[in-house]
Amino acid sequence: MANHKSAIKRIRQTKTRNAKNRLQHKTTRNAIKTLKETTSKKEAEKLFTNVTSLLDKLAKNNIIHKNKSANLKSKLSKHVNGLKTVKKSKPKAKAKSS
């Protein structure tokens, strides 16, 4: 157990920071999971901007490494770009055979 006032304060600060970092990291992981499960391109693009922002914040605060953030964003962008847009197609007119 810490004996100095400053050490006791440091322990308190570390606990609160750790809790905050874990919450941010878990929130980001859940957002990534929902993005991966999305099949709609329009919805995925909207989620992608949010997830990218979350990843950038984690990398900026050294919660995750900046290269890990870049790799995740790359994989997710490939996923989003691979989704097909749902278009409402008109029924094609049948050619008359004579």
For the stretch 5-50, pLDDT in tens is 999 999 999 999 999 999 999 999 999 999 999 999 999 999 999 9
pLDDT digits (tens, 9 = 90+) for 39-93: 999 999 999 999 999 999 999 999 999 999 999 999 999 999 998 876 666 666 6
Check residue 52 and give its pLDDT: 97
Closest CA to 24 of 52, 69, 63, 53: 63
**Domains in the chain, ordered, with CATH?**
5-82 (1.20.58.110)
- Whether 79 and 36 have beta carbons less than 8 Å apart is answered as yes
Encoding tokens for residue 44? Answer: 């995925």
Check residue 2 and give its pLDDT: 83
